[in-house]
Amino acid sequence: MSKPNHPVRTVSRTFEILEVLQELDGAGVSEVTDHVDIGKSAVHNHLTTLANREYVDKDGDEYHIGLSFLGLGAYARNRTPIYDVAKSQVDELADETGELVNLLVEKNGRGIYLYQAQGENAVELDTHEGKRVRLHCTGLGKAILAFRPREEVEGMLSEHGLPRLTPRTITDREDLYAELEAIREQRYAVDREERLNGLRCLAAPITDDADRSIAAVSVSCPVHRVDDERFHEALTEAVLGTANVIELEHNYS
């Protein structure tokens, strides 16, 4: 992502404050001030302005992200071509497997959950539509990275690193490159408790007609509930089938 030659500091501060509100799930002026490099008065002015525009809500002394962002987010998602194509297939996969199914796209070297559907046995996680995650520690992210040029992947890793989130997270570049090669051969990726302990995911890339990843779809399930046979056979087949249908509809319809 290119850097602006003349960034508008006030705009940057506003979004920094909004990100703090989201991270803390709501906060007061003093708490926000502890996380940004401006004074309480300036933070209060930002929050008051945002509240007047209904982009944040005030509840007592706390401020929260407002519903006005929902309209912007829905508009942005609906402009993403893969969403219209994939939504019904993601819903069907969730119904078929009974698990949590996610659709992820890459933006500026990080993953963004574009859509998710919950089957009857779906696990409750910290993910939600719009959440950003690192690519190296998720099955979805690795599926996307595997079908991008090496120099592009290297640029993403240089920008965002490979921080350890669990004891199983891949933090060595050469180890990651070896896994991406295996993913290219089998056309699916596995998250082996690499982002969250106790959770594993199976993901397949969605590629364009040049075999470049444009998204990925996954099934997530608890390690203790889904045995290896079902995970590596039935769920793998289901995820690969869903990715294939989405690719065909996106590329040739």
3-class DSSP string for 74-130:
HHHHHCCHHHHHHHHHHHHHHHHHCCEEEEEEEECCEEEEEEEEECCCCCCCCCCCC
**Strand arrangement of the beta sheet that strand 100-107 belongs to:** 132-133, 110-118, 100-107, 213-222, 199-207, 189-192
133 strand-pairing partners: 111
4-63: pLDDT as tens digits: 555 678 888 998 999 899 889 899 999 999 999 889 999 999 999 999 999 999 999 999
14 and 124 part of one domain = no
Distance in angstroms (rounded) separating the CA atoms of residues 115 and 112: 9
Which of 49, 66, 83 terminates a domain? The answer is: 66
Query: How far lies 80's CA from each of 45, 83, 85, 86, 109, in Å?
Result: 34, 6, 10, 11, 17
Pairing between β-strand 100-107 and β-strand 213-222 as defined by DSSP bridges? antiparallel
The DSSP string of 3-64 is: PPSS--HHHHHHHHHHHHHHHHTSB-HHHHHTTSSS-HHHHHHHHHHHHHTTSEEEETTEEE
Residue 27 confidence (pLDDT): 93
226 and 122 part of one domain = yes
19 and 131 part of one domain = no
44 and 118 part of one domain = no
CA angle in degrees (0–180, nearest 5) for 228-230-233 = 95
Task: Answer whether residue 14 is part of any domain.
Answer: yes
Residue 22 confidence (pLDDT): 87
16 and 91 part of one domain = no
Task: Answer whether residue 3 is part of any domain.
Answer: no
Mean pLDDT computed over every residue of the chain: 93
Task: Answer whether residue 118 is part of any domain.
Answer: yes
Task: Answer whether residue 2 is part of any domain.
Answer: no
27 and 135 part of one domain = no
Mean pLDDT of 231-238: 95
CB hemisphere CA count around 239 (13 angstroms): 31
Does 3 have pLDDT greater than 70? no
Distance in angstroms (rounded) separating the CA atoms of residues 94 and 119: 5
pLDDT confidence band for 161 (50 / 70 / 90): very high
Mean pLDDT of 100-117: 96
Q: CB 180: neighbour CB atoms within 10 A?
A: 22
Mean pLDDT of 161-189: 97
| pTM of the full structure | 0.84
46 phi and psi, to 5 degrees?
Answer: -60, -50
141 and 206 part of one domain = yes
Distance in angstroms (rounded) separating the CA atoms of residues 22 and 25: 5
CB hemisphere CA count around 104 (13 angstroms): 34
Residue 5 confidence (pLDDT): 59
146 phi and psi, to 5 degrees?
Answer: -65, -25
219 and 107 part of one domain = yes
Residues 67, 92 contacting (CB under 8 angstroms)? no
Share of the chain above pLDDT 90, in %: 81
User: Which residue range forms the structural domain that includes residue 39?
Assistant: 9-66
